[in-house]
A = this chain, B = another copy of it.
């Protein structure tokens, strides 16, 4: 019998101009997972603390992801998973991605690392598909690789790790309403104006270049989203107020984290990120809507053994 304890971090996907492709990894927020290797085949969830999650093998993302890995790597060993769930499901910071990535990352460690982190993506995606209704790598990639990641192709799982400017900090505010990815997808139109698409890819190209050159001003100018945000903003209480307050307080940019309801902002320096958080939360305090707030560096390492 062997045991492993890991940290599976939260993450931000759909970073403004990078819907479905661009994400980054957070640091202090994340799940703790304990995985025990046993001599009886199969994967089971034993304890889940912190949040309610299904233990049904067909609905639990950690089990589905684990079984996907084990299909490619048959073994007579089995795995017991205990989860200290700290990322709230439906909060928009990659709760299911942390579970799916955590499960395959830990099992891969216990099997002697037969797979690379990029290979683990495929298995984790099978788990993620259970939660969000479609298999997307945009939260999984930053969790498994760390830092900023770009999913060039979801179908061929071509994922690139991008550089992280040194002084970048994230502020995350989670207004406590639950919003399922599957619902925030339903609100999107299947066709978008070419003109807006061109603006979006111009901004994404500039954002990627700015990460490579530590150009915070260009980063700021390119953090725009005219394609997705206008639709999803209406699902999030006070979104425009909160976003504008973040920018007025000095954030480089701000937008919906994942499919919401969390709102993220990026700032240069930790003090600025704290100031931005104070500006953002005032709106929820006024309307007495409960919220969580997090300040985080960009987690360059990603998921890790504790």
Nearest neighbor of A156 in chain B, beta-carbon distance: B221
Would B160 and A209 count as touching, CB distance under 8 A?
yes
Would B19 and A205 count as touching, CB distance under 8 A?
no
CB distance from A151 to the nearest CB of B (A): 6
Of the 9-residue stretches A28-36, A46-54, A188-196, which lies at the interface with chain B?
A188-196
Question: Once bound together, how far apart are the Cα atoms of A196 and B96, in whole Å?
Answer: 26
Contacts of A249 in B (CB 8 A): none
Would B197 and A197 count as touching, CB distance under 8 A?
yes
Binding site for B on A (CB under 8 A): 17-22, 150-154, 158, 160, 162, 188-195, 197-209, 212-213, 218, 221-222, 227
Would B205 and A152 count as touching, CB distance under 8 A?
yes
Question: Once bound together, how far apart are the Cα atoms of A159 and B212, in whole Å?
Answer: 16
In addition to A20-B202, A197-B200, 4 A-B residue pairs with Cβ atoms within 8 Å of each other are A158-B206, A201-B201, A205-B205, A212-B213
CB distance from A161 to the nearest CB of B (A): 9
6 nearest A-B residue pairs (beta carbon): A212-B212, A152-B206, A201-B201, A191-B191, A197-B197, A21-B202
CB distance from A137 to the nearest CB of B (A): 11
Instruction: Decide: A221 near B150, CB < 8 A? Known: A188-B194, A192-B192.
Output: no
Would A202 and B151 count as touching, CB distance under 8 A?
yes
Question: Once bound together, how far apart are the Cα atoms of A194 and B200, in whole Å?
Answer: 11
Instruction: Decide: A150 near B209, CB < 8 A? Known: A189-B194, A204-B201, A221-B158.
Output: yes
Would B198 and A20 count as touching, CB distance under 8 A?
yes
Would B160 and A201 count as touching, CB distance under 8 A?
no
Question: Once bound together, how far apart are the Cα atoms of A302 and B152, in whole Å?
Answer: 30
Question: Once bound together, how far apart are the Cα atoms of A222 and B203, in whole Å?
Answer: 17
Question: Once bound together, how far apart are the Cα atoms of A141 and B206, in whole Å?
Answer: 14
CB distance from A162 to the nearest CB of B (A): 6
From B193, B200, B208, B227, A208 is in contact (CB under 8 Å) with B208
Question: Once bound together, how far apart are the Cα atoms of A32 and B133, in whole Å?
Answer: 59
Contacts of A189 in B (CB 8 A): 194
Question: Once bound together, how far apart are the Cα atoms of A221 and B150, in whole Å?
Answer: 14
Question: Once bound together, how far apart are the Cα atoms of A22 and B205, in whole Å?
Answer: 9
Pairs A–B under 8 Å by Cβ, sample size 22: A17-B201, A18-B201, A21-B198, A21-B205, A150-B209, A152-B218, A153-B202, A153-B203, A153-B221, A154-B202, A158-B206, A160-B206, A190-B194, A191-B193, A191-B194, A192-B193, A192-B197, A197-B200, A201-B205, A205-B207, A208-B208, A208-B212
Contacts of A193 in B (CB 8 A): 190-192
Would A221 and B152 count as touching, CB distance under 8 A?
yes
Nearest neighbor of A221 in chain B, beta-carbon distance: B158
Question: Once bound together, how far apart are the Cα atoms of A190 and B193, in whole Å?
Answer: 6
Would B208 and A209 count as touching, CB distance under 8 A?
yes
Would B201 and A21 count as touching, CB distance under 8 A?
yes
Nearest neighbor of A195 in chain B, beta-carbon distance: B190
Max chain B C-beta neighbours (<10 A), residue from A22, A201, A204, A209: A201
